[in-house]
Amino acid sequence: MNQLQATPLKTLSLSGRRSAGAAARPRRPMVAFRPSAAARSYNITLLPGDGIGPEVVAVAKDALSLVGSKEGFELRFQEMLMGGAALDAVGVPLPDETLAAARASDAILLGAIGGYKWDNNEKHLKPETGLLSIRAGLGVFANLRPATVLPQLVDASTLKKEVAQGVDIMVVRELTGGIYFGKPRGFGTNDKGEEIGFNTELYAVSEIDRIARVAFEVARKRGGKLCSVDKANVLEASMLWRKRVTAIASEFPDVELSHMYVDNAAMQLVRNPKQFDTIVTNNIFGDILSDEASMITGSIGMLPSASVGESGPGLFEPIHGSAPDIAGQDKANPLATILSAAMLLKYGLGIESAAKRIEAAVTATLDNGFRTGDIYSPGTTLVGCKRMGEEVLKALESQK
């Protein structure tokens, strides 16, 4: 497993931070990353998806190819259908061929899925069903979502500068359990004859324990603080969640554990976000809180994510949506996808030096004043998706 190393604040790093003096003890890997750098040849499945997905994936692919040539490894890309594009082509959101290709690859890079066109489809024919299905099919239960306010973009945050400056949070979200997958679920009729809809928030001890261990490992390599977010004052599933996270804490005496109800956590993220280092929470709370945290940084278009499991390839994707309103207009911000490619190199392939090259290139591009519309401010240079990608490539090319 790759060590997450401290990086000066002025540079972009997805590696996280580490508290001074907190020496980590050797432990088994928290998840099955693939540190196979000696292979020097890798198969990458690309899932461009819908909306702006094809635009941003194309840019990230170029960055991956260039960094591979500079670092001396080969990436072989295979593009597959998923989401609305797959629905239009073959009638299902996740074709069997796509899942098979993903499972056989070393890592998967996803663009975005969904769009207004498919909003009225039945549930099993919605693009989002394909996303849930590939996560389950790959067994990627841990979603890592960094939210870091870069000095270059602190003025883009909706929060006051003194509140946003220096924020560096990692949200660890459980990805394959909870209310999104729990059964029973569906529609029915109550005793008054009214139509009802119902879902089940369900977690087993093993599901909680494994995500808790991932979060403790991540926190250990950052600031040594972990906040577990739940709703244990109301929900039985959260009561079990808190009980198990507290129990797992005994395995990590060097990590400070705290608990917070989700409604308070949502408030504290905008009131005093710097109090958080690493957050662990369930599927639905993580979905919401990570999007909230993203806006502290100034734009959801800046944030990558990694989804990993106990074995097999990881799934790497920006957390923004498909943005169909700007699709095909060269307005998308590709940096979240480029940074997702950096996470792919770090966590998926174990090539940290290549990941750092991409991170440094993004930092240099921002230092040079280039901005897409979502992060633009007066005095900077407004560019589109393609131009932003070209500037990142220039920065990569200029590296020794």
The backbone region for 19, taken as left when phi is positive above 0, alpha when psi lies in -120 to 50, beta otherwise, is beta
Cα dihedral 127, 129, 130, 132 sign: positive
Contact 185, 132 (CB under 8 A): no
Angstrom distance (rounded) from CA 148 to CA 273: 11
Of 185, 86, 175, which is closest to residue 132 (Cα–Cα)?
175
Of 368, 49, 79, which is closest to residue 387 (Cα–Cα)?
368
Catalytic residues: 180, 231, 263, 287, 291
Angstrom distance (rounded) from CA 93 to CA 85: 8
107 bridge partner residues: 44, 314
Concatenated DSSP letters for 221-240? TTTSEEEEEE-TTT-HHHHH
152: its two tokens: 């270059």
**Omega of the bond prior to 273 within 30 degrees of 0, cis?**
no
- Indicate the SS3 state at residue 69: helix
Contact 343, 355 (CB under 8 A): yes
Angstrom distance (rounded) from CA 227 to CA 264: 12
